[in-house]
A and B are shown apart, each in its own frame.
Chain A
Amino acid sequence: GAGVSQSPSNKVTEKGKDVELRCDPISGHTALYWYRQSLGQGLEFLIYFQGNSAPDKSGLPSDRFSAERTGGSVSTLTIQRTQQEDSAVYLCASSLVVGQGYNEQFFGPGTRLTVL
């Protein structure tokens, strides 16, 4: 079946513009995660959605970042007034939650964001 998909694959924008990044999780996966990864760095947790629960937004670096997950499926990460330090690869992952502990994450290919 289809894996996690993300769009666009690459986005170049000017400082101060808003951007929207999209994630289509694997069908049936109730958990969805957003991370960002700067060049040569590890994954920085941004936000986590689980079913109908309130999202865990504890990783969002500033109020310029927000995310939605409509209908428990597709998610959009929005960055307002982009800054050069926002340049990174934004990765989305989804997982099928089966009890505790079994929750392999499947990652999308990422969106490479460059802010000029």
Chain B
Amino acid sequence: RKEVEQDPGPFNVPEGATVAFNCTYSNSASQSFFWYRQDCRKEPKLLMSVYSSGNEDGRFTAQLNRASQYISLLIRDSKLSDSATYLCVVNRNNDMRFGAGTRLTVKP
């Protein structure tokens, strides 16, 4: 079983749609959690951290459920520029493990 699992998608949504990505992790000792974004043929970049109480950054909302070892990312009012692969990242003692990513395509 992979340490971090994500639905690979692809998710194809129209502009303005709300889309949610899920991620599960296997190591209960994991300490911190992140979502990274990777554009085609580019390196990953941090999108947002995920806090236990849930957190929001503009149109993006991240949630963490430690009991279920589950992380989510919600994108509201999606834009064409949101098209990318979204990587779930789990950290334990600065050892970062990435999910395989969920591909999102936002269409006009």
Q: Which A residues have a C-beta under 8 Å from some C-beta of B?
A: 31, 33, 35, 41-43, 45, 48, 50, 56, 91, 93, 95, 97, 100-105, 107-110
Chain B residues close to A by CB (< 8 Å): 6, 31-32, 34, 36, 42-46, 87, 89, 91, 93-101
If over half of B's interface residues share one DSSP class (helix, strand or loop), that class is named, otherwise mixed; here it is: strand
In the assembled complex, which residues on chain A have CB atoms less than 8 Å from the CB atom of B97?
Answer: 45
Task: Report A-chain residues with C-beta under 8 Å of the C-beta of B43.
Answer: 91, 107-110
Which chain A residues lie closer than 8 Å to B34 at the CB level?
104
Known: A42-B87, A105-B89, A105-B96. 9 other contacts (CB 8 A): A41-B100, A50-B94, A91-B43, A93-B96, A103-B94, A104-B34, A104-B46, A105-B36, A109-B43
Decide if A43 touches B32 in the complex (CB within 8 Å): no
- The tally of CB-CB contacts under 8 A between chains A and B is 53
Which residue on chain B has the smallest CB distance to residue A105? B96
Q: Is the interface of A mostly helix, strand, loop or mixed?
A: strand
CA distance A96 to B86 in the complex (A): 23
Contact B95 A56 (CB under 8 A): yes
Do B31 and A45 touch across chains, with their CB atoms under 8 A apart? no
A48 to chain B, nearest CB (A): 6
Query: Which of A48, A103, A109 is B32 in contact with, Cβ under 8 Å?
Result: A103
Closest to A31 in B: B94
Is B100 a contact of A42 with CB atoms below 8 Å? yes
**Contacting residues, chain A, for B91 (C-beta < 8 A):** 101, 103
Task: Closest A residue to B43 by CB, please name it.
Answer: A107
Whether A105 pairs with B46 at a CB distance below 8 angstroms is: yes
Instruction: Tell me the complex Cα distance, A41–B98, Å.
Output: 11
